[in-house]
Amino acid sequence: MLVIFGDHDRAFCGEPTCSASGSLAAEAGFFSPDACVETAAIAGAGHDLNLHFQAPIAYDAVLEWMDRRVGSDPDEPAPSPCQP
């Protein structure tokens, strides 16, 4: 599972940013170990990633995660499947 936030998301992160406050470090604790939680903070973005100029960066992060964890070829196994 990928949990992605804008680095300046005041709704979910501590001050001054998600990265600097370490807010994302606790996210995995909200899920089962089988979820293989990964987190990403998108620099320069806030709460609604889809409305930020950095939205393409967020989309690229999601696509990279999907290619790595799910795979881009349905006939091939995922390159880095989750290993809880």
The whole-number pLDDT of residue 23 equals 86
The whole-number pLDDT of residue 61 equals 96
The whole-number pLDDT of residue 56 equals 97
| Intra-chain end-to-end CA distance of the chain, in Å | 11
One digit per residue, the tens of pLDDT, for the chain of length 84 reads 999 999 999 888 888 998 899 888 888 899 998 889 999 999 999 999 999 999 999 999 999 999 999 888 889 888 888 876
Domain ranges of the chain: 2-69
CB distance 2 to 62 below 8 Å: yes
The whole-number pLDDT of residue 84 equals 65
CB distance 15 to 4 below 8 Å: no
DSSP state string for 3-58: EEEETT-TTTS-SS-HHHHTGGGGGGGGS-GGG--EEEEETT--S-GGGSTTHHHH
CB distance 23 to 14 below 8 Å: yes
